[in-house]
Each structure stands twice: as C-alpha cells, then as structure tokens.
Amino acid sequence: MNGDKDSNWIDELRLQFNSLFSNTILVETTDKKRNEELCQKKPKIMNIKGAKRKENWIYLDGWEGFYYWKKNDKGELEQKQFKNGSVSKYGINEALPTVSDELYKGNRILVVSNIFKSNDHFNNAIRGWSNSDTLRDRDTKIVIFADDRSMFPPEVWTHMKIIKPPKSTWKEREKTIRFQQDELNPTTKIGDKKITDVVRLTAGMNLDQLESAVIKSIIIENEIKLSVLSKEKNELFAKNPVIDLIDQPKFGFEGVGGYQSLKNRIRDDVILPLRHPEFAKRYCMKSPRGILLYGPPGTGKTLLVKSMAKELNMSILLLRPENILGKYVGESEKSMRKVFEIAEAMVPCIVFIDELDRFSKRSGGDNVSSHVERELFSMLLEKLGDENREWFFAGATNNIDAIDPALRRTGRIDSVAPVPFPDEEARMEIFKIHTTVKRKLPLKNDIDIERIVKETYMWSGSDIEQLVIRTSRDVMKSDIKDKKHDLKIGMDDFLRILNTFNIPVDKNEGLQSNVKDKVMEYTNDKRLMHVFEHAQDSHVSKSKTEKAKNITKGLGKKKTIWDDKNE
Ligand SMILES: Nc1ncnc2c1ncn2[C@@H]1O[C@H](COP(=O)(O)OP(=O)(O)OP(=O)(O)O)[C@@H](O)[C@H]1O
Ligand SMILES: [Mg+2]
C-alpha cells in the first residue's frame, strides 16, 4: 500500500533548485502544514546556497504582507514587516516593488503563500523574476504555494518547476493522530488497530484538514471517532462535480443477507490482503485490483460494494461516467484524469462504477458507444492495468454480456462474481435484516418465516425489502386511522401484501439460469458456484426447517435469536 512511503517533496524541491532549470518552484498545495514543513526544515535543504541563514528567508503572504523573522533582544524570533511591505490596502501589488528590491540583493529565498487569485501585476512580477538571469546568478530562489497552477496563465507557470506534494502519507497521518491524541486526551490510549483504521479512513485528507477533524472529534465525542472523521472527509470531497463520495454505510456484511460463499470470497481475496498489507507482502501478493459483480436487478450488488467499504473502513468514490462525458474528448479526458488524481490522493479507496454496462459497451454491438465514451473507457482500461495503481476497482452490472471483455483481462480486475436471486437462506436473512436489524419493526409472534421464504421464490432482495416496507406502511395506515398506536405487524399482514406483488417468476428463472451459465465463462473459480446451491429449491431442507423454526420462535419477542451474528 501507499502507506509507508515517506513524503520527500522537500528533497525533490532541493533537487529541482540544484538542477538550475528555474529559480522558481510552484508547490501545488494550500495545506499550511506543508508550508510550515518547508520553513521548519530549512536545514534539510541546506545545500541550497544560503538556506541555512534565516536572514535570507523572506515571506510574502496574501494576508500578512511581506516580512522576515528576526531575533529580538531576548533572543526570541519575531516576525518583522518590511517597510512598504503591507498588503492591507491594495493587496499584494502594494508590496511587490519592495519584494523585488529584496530579491535583487541576492541569495534570498522567498516563500509566497495565501494568494488565491493572481492579477496582471503579480503575474508580470513573477514572470520577470523567474526568467531573470541576474536573480539566478545571485542565487535567489522563489517558492510559491498555490492550490493549482491554473491560478496563473500558462505563460507564467511554464517558467516554473511544479511540485505536487502528497496530501498526506500514511506515516504523517499516523503521527498527527497520535500527537493530537496525546495532547488532548493523554489519559486514554488509542489501540494500534484503531490507529490503523483511522489512518486508512483519512487517506486523501491533507494534514491540516486531518488535524482539525481529529481535534473536532476529540472535543465533541471525547475520542477519535471513525464516524466523525468520515463525515468531515465527505464534506471536503462533496464539492467535486465528477465524483461522489459515498457516505460510509451503517452496516458491513451483516447488512447483506445470504450470499455467504460470495462474502467469503470477497473476505479472503479482497478484504484480508487490504487489511493486512504486511502479510500480503510476505506472500508476494499484490494488492487486490478489482471485482466485477453481475446479476439481475435488485439482488444487492450495489449494497455489497457499499458494505465492503464499511468492512474495510475505506472511502468509496462513485464514478458516474455520464457526469464526465462532455462534448469534446479533451474536456472529458481532463475530468477523467482528475478522477484518477483524486483516487490516487485518497488511496486506499474503492472506485466504484455502478451499471458499468452503460459505459463499457462492446465495440460493434447494437448500442455502439460514442467516440468520447470509447476514449474514456480505454483510459479506464489503461489505468486499471497500470501496475502502480493502488486503488481498488469495483464494478456492477446486470448485463455482463455487454461488458467489453478487455476489462476482464488479467491484471485489470481479479474476479467476476455472480450475484443471483437469493436462495432460501438468503431470503430468510434478508427478511430478518429488513424487519429486525435495519428496521426494528413491531412484529407479532406469529411470523411464519418458512412460509415467507417459500412464497418469495425468485424474488430479489429488493423485492423482499419492498414487501417489508409496503406491509409496514399498510399497518401504519390502519394504526393511524384507529388512533391506537399499538398495532403490530402480523403474518396475515405480510401475506395480504405479498399477494399484491407481481413477480415474473418465469422470466426471473430465465435470468437466473443465464447468470449461472455465465459463471464458468467468466471465471475459473468453482467456489463461486456455491451461490447457486439452494437457489432453485422450492422445498426447504430439514436443517433449514429447523433453522427457520428457531428464527420463527424468536420473531416478535423483545430479544430474538436473530440478534446473533449470521456468520
Ligand atoms: N442480500 C441483501 N440483503 C439485504 N438487503 C438487500 C439484499 N439485496 C438487496 N437488498 C435490498 O435491496 C436494495 C436494492 O439493492 P441493490 O441496489 O444493491 O441491488 P442491485 O443488485 O445493485 O440492483 P441493480 O442491478 O438494479 O442496480 C438494497 O438497498 C437493499 O436494501
Ligand atoms: Mg445497483
């Protein structure tokens, strides 16, 4: 994983300065921690001439003006503004002549920060400085911190070297979290597992953002809470137009009924190695690359991917190709590159494309995709095959045949997994999840789960959820009418509503066998066949009957045996 790499952007900065390409470097970040890091690590760049002497460091700040640091009589460092170095009245332009004078004295290192908009005056000044042979000969260097090069016109930034420091590395985040915990909550120790979860979850935040999120969590909740951090992070990324950050779901795999063999596969193949990168390394496992789930509508594919993010404590970036598709190839390509950039910054994370078939059409089929779509899809393929990709890809589709086979080529994704209609056990669990776990409904004692399982043959998980919702709504309606506020939902209610459903069983059986036929075509893993084991049964086996009875006994009581874990 990305994790343990150290951030060495300052070394890069030094190398760039020494290469003499330009005396100006643009550091693309607005993280003030990075700025502090440079200013505190002066010794690290000491083989830039003059960097060791603090008198040589001068600062131009959009808010604070043009200043330097000086020791006072007591030997303490004091921030001193240059004469005419104010930016209070006319903004940065006011200080530029003074800055220029200072720079030409030679051997200065100018750090520019907190400038969010450039203007002609400023652009001309920078262009002049970065092209100046005199300044180069006099060993003057300029470091500009700005969010993005596009703040300047290209004729300005092409004369600079551009460095993009990482938002935050694993080590840096760990250090920040431990530091804040020790500062603000020294009496409680935070376990290594928790630290790992927090560090993983906060990938993509910069150190400044991380620090404020951690402080906020400790102040509000008295501890570092994953849910608070996840919310903070989501707010930071919510503004992005091309990618949606999905909120961490409340439930992991315990919120997905059935599909045990599939969940096991995902646990073994994806979750274990991502959670234990040190073991993966020992057994020469690369990080898992991706998964494609296919199956009929409503069977829980999207749900599975979302709950995977919860199991892993990772963010999911939902990529909606339709949001990227612009009129021109160049435009869309730019957005797509931006997506990859965000994903890389947020590693470890899952990039999820739902309804992938709409995007990845086989060439030559009926619905031939547009030129732009093909272009974007080939960018995706290329990225998926990139050895250095560290984010995990998830795709879902109910039309596997429409997916371009190139996607399945080794190295791009690891597995193609079928998600058929739920078998008996799955239907039982799905019903249970929606009545007693995700919702805690007032139920009578007479729920005959065995019967519900039988009557819902070839229903999808989504249909079963609908059954629960519609039944509750119906009973609620009577309750409101009678003003009793004490009705409970009984078996007769479920059966009454069940009869109002129109489920195309024949059609679904067709879809089911299609899903099954495809397994061996698309994967060589026999174990994935287990999801079909009970799907076609309409009778309930003996052990299942026992299980069902137990569950029925528990239903409607305060604490049911359903409360225990499924796995
Ligand atoms: N196995 C399941 N366990 C619990 N709930 C389920 C299950 N399958 C489906 N559901 C419920 O049905 C809803 C819809 O499922 P989901 O959107 O994941 O299906 P899908 O396979 O992605 O469908 P589509 O192909 O139409 O996108 C889920 O939000 C969930 O509430
Ligand atoms: Mg879906």
Distance (angstroms) between ligand 2 centre and the Cα of 354 equals 6
Q: What are the CA-CA distances from residue 218 to residues 181, 182, 184, 224, 313 (Å)?
A: 8, 11, 7, 5, 19
pLDDT attached to residue 329: 66
Residue pair 199/170 in contact by the 8 Å Cβ criterion? yes
Query: Tokens 């997994």 belong to which residue?
Result: 417
The closest-lying atom of ligand 1 relative to the alpha carbon of residue 426 is 1
Q: Which of 465, 469, 511, 562 to mutate to test the pocket of ligand 1 (most atoms within 8 A of CB)?
A: 465
Residues with Cβ within 6 A of ligand 1? 256-259, 297-303, 396, 398, 422, 426, 430, 433, 461-462, 465
pLDDT attached to residue 428: 96
Nearest residue (by CA) to ligand 1, atom 25, is 297
* Cα–Cα distance, 56 to 110 (Å, whole number): 8
Question: Mapped to the 3 state alphabet, what secondary structure does 230-289 carry?
Answer: HHHHHHHHCCCCCEEEECCCCCCHHHCCCCHHHHHHHHHHHHHHHHCHHHHHHCCCCCCC
pLDDT attached to residue 54: 84
| Token pair for 68 | 């330097």
Contacts 24+ apart (CB under 8 A), 33-38: 33/206, 33/207, 33/208, 33/211, 34/9, 34/145, 34/165, 34/206, 34/207, 35/111, 35/113, 35/145, 37/10, 38/10, 38/13, 38/111, 38/143
Over the chain (567 residues), the average pLDDT of each successive run of 10 is 62 85 90 88 76 88 92 89 85 90 93 90 93 90 90 88 89 92 86 89 90 91 88 76 78 94 89 82 82 94 92 86 72 84 84 85 55 84 91 92 84 89 95 94 93 96 97 90 81 95 94 87 75 55 46 42 36
pLDDT attached to residue 518: 85
Distance (angstroms) between ligand 2 centre and the Cα of 311 equals 19
pLDDT attached to residue 150: 84
pLDDT attached to residue 371: 77
Ligand of minimum distance to the alpha carbon of 435: 1
Question: Mapped to the 3 state alphabet, what secondary structure does 66-95 carry?
Answer: EEEEEECCCCCEEEEECCCCCCCCCHHHHH
Amino acid at 488: K
Decide: helix, strand or coil at residue 526.
helix
The closest-lying atom of ligand 1 relative to the alpha carbon of residue 462 is 12
Distance (angstroms) between ligand 1 centre and the Cα of 293 equals 12
| Token pair for 374 | 């093909």
Distance (angstroms) between ligand 1 centre and the Cα of 422 equals 11
Q: Which helix (H) or strand (E) holds 163?
A: strand 161-163
In sequence order, the 6+-apart residues with CB closer than 8 A to the CB of 163 are: 9, 12, 13, 16, 25, 26, 27, 28
* Cα–Cα distance, 144 to 152 (Å, whole number): 11
Distance (angstroms) between ligand 1 centre and the Cα of 152 equals 47
- Main-chain phi, psi angles of 120, to 5 degrees: -55, -40
Q: Which of 260, 303, 433 to mutate to test the pocket of ligand 1 (most atoms within 8 A of CB)?
A: 303
pLDDT attached to residue 279: 80
The residues with which 163 forms a beta bridge, in sequence order, are: 27
Nearest residue (by CA) to ligand 1, atom 12, is 462
Cα–Cα–Cα angle for 322, 387, 356, rounded to 5 degrees: 25
Question: 196-230 burial by CB neighbour count: b if 16+ within 10 A, else e?
Answer: bbbbbbbbbbbbbbbbebbeebbeeeeebbbebbb
Is the Cα dihedral 524, 530, 533, 534 positive or negative? negative
Is the Cα dihedral 131, 134, 139, 143 positive or negative? negative
CB burial of residue 420 (10 Å; 0-12, 13-18, 19+): buried
Residue pair 96/110 in contact by the 8 Å Cβ criterion? no
Distance (angstroms) between ligand 1 centre and the Cα of 473 equals 20
Instruction: Give the total residue count for the chain.
Output: 567
Distinct helix (H) and strand (E) counts, the chain: 23, 13
Decide: helix, strand or coil at residue 8.
coil
The closest-lying atom of ligand 1 relative to the alpha carbon of residue 300 is 18
Distance (angstroms) between ligand 2 centre and the Cα of 394 equals 12
Ion ligand 2: residues, CB < 5 A: 302
Bridge-based pairing state of the strands 141-146 and 109-113: parallel
